[in-house]
Amino acid sequence: MYIGLIFFGSSRPYLRPPGPDFALKDKLAHCTEYGVLGLLVSRAIRPGRDVPRGVEILWFVALGAGIAGLDELFQGTIAGRVTDIRDWTADVTGLTIGATISVLLARRKRAAP
């Protein structure tokens, strides 16, 4: 459902954050949006305990990066929107942060007595 919400937002023509500092707000919005996706994906898909944390995080980020890439390509077909590698980079940064937080918290919870 969340991925559908992301694509719905991407389908809005001429969407821009209000006010000055557009570039910074835009990148923060991308990072936050995909940070939530990183949390959700890593909570929804849990490999076994024997998978190293780094591999687990990398897998979640790779999955999300593919979704982010499709989202950016889709945006390029919408009036007033563009495909931007910097937006994709902000998406992957958010994914990495969100997935890392989720994996570390889950591992900590499993390790607690």
Residue-number span of the structural domain to which 56 is assigned: 2-11+22-111
When pLDDT is cut at 50, 70 and 90, the band that residue 96 belongs to is very high
pLDDT value, residue 113: 64
Domain-embedded: residue 40:
yes
DSSP conformation letters of 4-57: HHHHHHHTSTT---SSS-HHHHHHHHHHHHHHHHHHHHHHH----TTS-HHHHH
Higher-pLDDT residue of 25 and 69 is 69
The structure's pTM equals: 0.85
Total of domains in the chain: 1
Domain-embedded: residue 16:
no
Domain-embedded: residue 76:
yes
